[in-house]
Amino acid sequence: MSFSNKEIKIIESVFKKKTYKKGTQLLVPGNTGDIQYYVFDGCLRLYHVDNQGKEHTVQFGIKDWWVSDCTAFFSESKALMNIETINDAIVYEISKQNRDYLYEQIPKIETFFRKKLERAFAALQRRIIINLSQNATERYLDFINTYPNIEQSIKNYHIASYLGITTESLSRIRKELSKH
């Protein structure tokens, strides 16, 4: 999809480039979740903390990925999720209001966002199916395929949380796989 110079200026006027240090909380439950983050560099983590205080990682946002609390963003409700930087990160932020403004000013950009949303929805369904039907080793192999080269830059407990297993189980799986 190509844009005119005028359209590019409109797009640049609504996206805010931000730099965050590792460990920055971009969103916490109860806050307004009306921002989508485009990851230009670094890594973000979208996660939920259950009533027992256990973290459940839903998504890692790596270069060229979008991250948001979709429930809050699309329903204009309070955030249910946390978003944190797990590496120093450069992101481009857009609010729901500014995204809707872009739709009015540049109608063809709605197609761009729709296609991104369709791919994200398909990936989410795939992740649900994998979590329901695969064992921990298969989920780990899918993880390293989905997020190549991420293991060196994130903590083991983040990976285990994403896979729904303990860090001890993750170590056991890696040890078993290294034998083959």
Please give the Cα distance from 135 to 122 (Å, whole number): 21
pLDDT of residue 2: 87
Q: Could you report the per-residue pLDDT of 34-49, keeping only the tens digit for each?
A: 999 999 999 999 999 9
Q: Could you report the per-residue pLDDT of 125-177, keeping only the tens digit for each?
A: 999 999 999 999 999 999 999 888 888 889 999 999 999 999 999 999 999 99
State the residue range of the domain holding 40. Answer: 5-105
pLDDT of residue 48: 96
30 in any annotated domain: yes
pLDDT of residue 153: 85
Contact 49, 120 (CB under 8 A): no
Please give the Cα distance from 76 to 70 (Å, whole number): 9
pLDDT of residue 149: 84
166 in any annotated domain: no
* Size of the chain in residues: 180
Contact 36, 99 (CB under 8 A): yes
> Is residue 83 predicted with pLDDT exceeding 90?
yes
Specify the number of domains making up the chain: 1
Other CB atoms within 10 Å distance of the CB of residue 47? 18
Residue 58 belongs to domain with CATH number: 2.60.120.10
Where are the extended beta strands (E) located within 21-170? Answer: 25-27, 35-41, 44-49, 55-61, 66-67, 82-85, 89-95
